[in-house]
A = this chain, B = another copy of it.
Amino acid sequence: MSELQNDRLLRALLRQPVDRTPTWIMRQAGRYLPEYRASRARAGNFMGLCGNPDMACEVTMQPLERFPLDAAILFSDILTVPDAMGLGLYFSEGEGPRFERPLQSAAAIRAIGQPDPNDELRYVMDAVSLIRRELNGRVPLIGFAGSPWTLATYMVEGGSTKTFGRSKGLLFEDPESAHHLLGVLADSVAAYLNAQVAAGAQALMIFDTWGGVLNPAMYRTFSLDYMQRIVDQLTREAEGRRVPVVLFTKGAGTRLAAMADSGADALGVDWTTDLADARTLTGDRVALQGNLDPAALYASPTAVRREVRAVLDSFGNGPGHVFNLGHGVTPDIDPDCVAAAVDEVIQYSPQFHSPS
């Protein structure tokens, strides 16, 4: 592997000094980019993109050609893991992801097994290797997976949901089956992330999109405990460097305090919690990644720059901050606003990293 030329992200995630705050953007390879839309049209559909290592590599690289970002993130989907478990992932227009065979009984839950990341998910590992070669040491590559609870919601509901009636219903009504499912998912995700590291991923992120919809006690029992089970199993060193792990629960709020004890190196923070408060909650035990409201990108570049400065001011001095949005970039924003955000981080953040 080529030597890494820009290690700001890895250093910041480990709370080591950097010259300026590193930045990447959740869903940076996405529909807001015309070149992405062209690739997707060529691929036919979303799975045609993430299922094909060449296409996945192509779209992973696109935002790096436009913006001076400090990281690449594997282009894939969190639902590749349940798909590899045999649930049959497909994307229907206007409805988002769906499964052909959702888990509709305790027996169906007992029947699922761990996929082999180097067999059913080989295409992901091939994409990781290819992207690493293509990056050629320019910036580090982030691998990722969905949290067990977040994956379970889709597997039980059969797709997206507003009420979480079936998935929360399972937790309330049959916690034993829920724990079985979440255990299999945690071990599957751990193996999947370790395979990504073996293939070349240099940092890892676990997306718990739906942890925030659980009450605090259930969050602990059904989401955080299983993320911790993953973290406990992860390869934490590769190519002579530590592989930092980031946990992100959308809507975490005060749950950030408990998350900081999970053994993760860093936490993603959405925009509904101030970074200053997040620092207090986590006692500077972990690095923080975030947290511009993605909706700020609907404003003008001037307003975007003002909001970026507010985020950087809120974290304040010292290492341990990775600039990002508080959630994924939305499809209908102007790429110039992303350019303004990334540039403002570069211009404004060095003051927070001066040697003292």
Contact = CB atoms under 8 A, between A and B. Distances in A.
Contact of A295 (B163, B253, B298, B299): B163
A310 B294 CA distance: 36
A215 B294 contact: no
Interface string A245-284: 0000001011000000000000000011110010000000
B277 A168 contact: no
Contacts of A163: 294-295, 298, 330, 332
A166 interface: yes
B251 A251 contact: yes
Nearest to A161: B295
Given A164-B295, A272-B251, A294-B163, A173 B300 contact: yes
B212 A165 contact: no
Contacts of A274: 215-217
Contact of A165 (B213, B272, B295): B295
Contact of A168 (B254, B295, B310): B295
A293 interface: yes
Given A172-B307, A330-B163, A272 B299 contact: no
A172 B254 contact: no
A303 interface: yes
Given A215-B271, A215-B272, A168 B293 contact: yes
A332 B214 CA distance: 19
A272 to B, nearest CB: 6
A216 B273 contact: yes
Contacts of A173: 298-300, 303
Nearest to A212: B272
A296 interface: yes
A203 to B, nearest CB: 26
Contacts of A332: 163, 165
A263 B355 CA distance: 47
Given A163-B295, A172-B307, 4 more contacts: A163-B330, A165-B330, A215-B272, A216-B273
22 contacts: A163-B294, A163-B295, A163-B298, A164-B295, A165-B295, A165-B333, A169-B299, A172-B296, A172-B298, A172-B303, A172-B307, A173-B298, A212-B272, A213-B272, A214-B272, A215-B271, A215-B274, A216-B273, A217-B310, A253-B254, A253-B272, A254-B273
